[in-house]
Amino acid sequence: MTPGADGPAPRRRGRPSRAAHAEGPDARTRILEAARAEFAVRGYDKTSMRGIAKAAGVDAALVHHYFGTKDEVFAAAVEVSFEPALVIPSILGGPSADVGERLARFFIGVWENPASRAPLLAMLRSALTHEAAAKVLREFVLRRLLERIAADLDVPDPAFRAELAASHMIGIAILRYVIQAEPLASADPERIIAMVAPTLQRYLADG
Amino acid sequence: MTPGADGPAPRRRGRPSRAAHAEGPDARTRILEAARAEFAVRGYDKTSMRGIAKAAGVDAALVHHYFGTKDEVFAAAVEVSFEPALVIPSILGGPSADVGERLARFFIGVWENPASRAPLLAMLRSALTHEAAAKVLREFVLRRLLERIAADLDVPDPAFRAELAASHMIGIAILRYVIQAEPLASADPERIIAMVAPTLQRYLADG
């Protein structure tokens, strides 16, 4: 399967394509799923475009066609866990009085789901140990995600505050799922949400 | 140099010895400094007791004598950055109305100092990629540190809250110093402290 004149349009930015999702497990979706699994198992450094193509059952040229570079596959594989096109409006679209709780609930939900947790943890590990992966997280994922969140916030320094909120959720993920520090590792997700929501609320909404 | 009957007392728990510090760069201090540098450069996995001994200019047997195992050297090397014997009282000893600010200021100060930042980042990376290092952080460093902090807190679930506070500071360190996400990476430390102190205050003091 190679892209032809009437094949799906190349998406060099690697953002999740709603159209592709709607069509079911097409080649692009299969490539992203394979990339998530490869990055999760092998880490950033040892994952190759060729390996992703093989796992997805497609030609390596198709992976390049859709994503251009390994960095862009990595960015898309991280982003797909967050599905920003769907998620951002659902977090920021509701009443601002409980945006903190919606964000906390969303993040904990993503991390509590083993299917999304494993690739996210692998990508976080990669970002912490390989500058190339850190750069992708910094320049693609975080910038896009945080710019979109910050644009909707009515507070001073919205990007700074969005990063502080993100830092808390990343730190919780590390202590709870990677280092597995108790009692946090075994705490009911609702207890975490109850404590953290007012923090995120203050950062994102209460100047 | 090997420990004799009148040599320094073995300290199997590896906590920083105030007496040792007062005596200047004795063997135990040299070993810890060498261990910090070795873990920072090589990571947890590739650091050996023999390599630490060589870097410290002592016999490997002396490293075993003071610390027992590589895990205990690792725990002591992390702990020495925090000097809990000095730091905990200075954070928890003051008025509880600004314990959050004192804790935020202390953590940012440790991370802003390149001498303590490099080994801490290396150890955090190790903990995220090697279960053995995660176990040390979980069972030695965090448990000891958090138990001591929690013991002085007058809030429900003190250990849980101390971990939430720690998670935020760890997450900030990762975004600011490792992933270097902007604007957080370039933000004035005082701006971070001003935003984060009320969060830590609520977790640690305001039930």
The 3 state secondary structure assigned to chain A is: CCCCCCCCCCCCCCCCCHHHHHCCCCHHHHHHHHHHHHHHHHHHHHCCHHHHHHHHCCCHHHHHHHHCCHHHHHHHHHHHHHCHHHHHHHHHCCCHHHHHHHHHHHHHHHHHCHHHHHHHHHHHHHHHHCHHHHHHHHHHHHHHHHHHHHHCCCCCCHHHHHHHHHHHHHHHHHHHHHCCCCCHHHCCHHHHHHHHHHHHHHHHCCC
Instruction: Classify domain A18-78 by CATH architecture.
Output: Orthogonal Bundle (1.10)
What are the φ/ψ torsions at residue A83 (nearest 5 degrees)? 35, 65
Distance from CA of B12 to the nearest CA of A (A): 23
Instruction: Name the residue facing B166 among A161, A175, A199 (closest C-beta).
Output: A175
- A191 CB within 8 Å of a chain B CB: yes
Cα end-to-end distance, chain A, whole Å: 53
A16 pLDDT more than 90: no
pLDDT at B207: 59
Chain region(s) in chain B for CATH 1.10.10.60:
18-76
Task: Give how far A10 is from chain B: nearest CA, Å.
Answer: 28
Chain B residues with CB under 8 Å of A128 CB are 124-125, 128-129, 174, 178-179
Between residues B22 and A53, the one the model is more confident about: A53
CA nearest to B136 within chain A: A179
- In chain A, CATH 1.10.357.10 covers 83-204
B18-76 CATH, one of 1.10.10.60, 1.50.10.10, 1.10.569.10, 2.130.10.10: 1.10.10.60
Q: Nearest CA of chain A to the CA of B25: how many Å?
A: 32
Please name the residues in contact with B1: beta carbons below 8 A apart, sequence gap of 6 or more: B27, B58, B59, B62
Chain B residues in contact with A150 by the CB 8 A cut-off are none
- Number of helical H runs and strand E runs in chain B: 12, 0
Does the beta carbon of B175 lie under 8 angstroms from any beta carbon of chain A?
yes
Optimal mutation site among B167, B175, B203, interface A, most CBs of chain A within 10 A: B167
Is A172 in contact with A120 (CB distance < 8 Å)?
no
In chain B, residues with a C-beta closer than 8 Å to the C-beta of A175 are 142, 163, 166-167, 170
pLDDT above 90 as % of chain A: 35
Q: Which of A10, A119, A135 is nearest to A61 (CA)?
A: A10
Higher model confidence: residue A63 or residue A79?
A63
> Mind telling me how many Å the CA of B170 is from chain A's nearest CA?
5
Closest CB from A166, A180, A184 relative to B175: A166
Q: Given a cut of 50, is residue B150 above it in pLDDT?
A: yes
**Does residue B134 register a pLDDT over 90?**
no
The pLDDT of residue A19 is above 50: no
Residue B198 has pLDDT above 90, yes or no: yes
CATH 1.10.10.60 placement within chain A: 18-78
CATH 1.10.357.10 given to domain A83-204: yes
Give the lowest-confidence range in A37-41, B22-26, B54-58, B180-184. B22-26
Pick the most confident of A50-59, A82-91, A97-106, B127-136. Answer: A50-59
B132 interfacial to chain A (CB closer than 8 Å): no
- pLDDT tens across B30-77, in order? 999 899 888 888 888 889 999 999 999 999 999 999 999 988 898 888
